[in-house]
Amino acid sequence: MELKPYQQQVIGDLALFLEHLRHTNNVREAFHDFWAMHPRTAL
């Protein structure tokens, strides 16, 4: 089954967030960093 583009984007966003979480070991910091640098909805 092929994923739709929006589904691929969600999986990519999740992978990026988990990468931030792995580096910080802090959910709050990872969440902030993810959204601060997100290309479509940067803070």
- Kindly state the tokens that stand for 30: 């990872």
The answer to whether 35 and 43 have CB atoms below 8 angstroms apart is yes
- Kindly state the tokens that stand for 14: 């999740």
Q: What is the pLDDT along the chain (43 residues), one digit of tens a residue?
A: 899 999 999 999 999 999 999 999 999 999 999 999 888 776 6
- pLDDT (0 to 100) of residue 42: 65
The pTM for the full model equals 0.80
- pLDDT (0 to 100) of residue 38: 86
Q: How far apart are CA 36 and CA 43, in angstroms?
A: 5
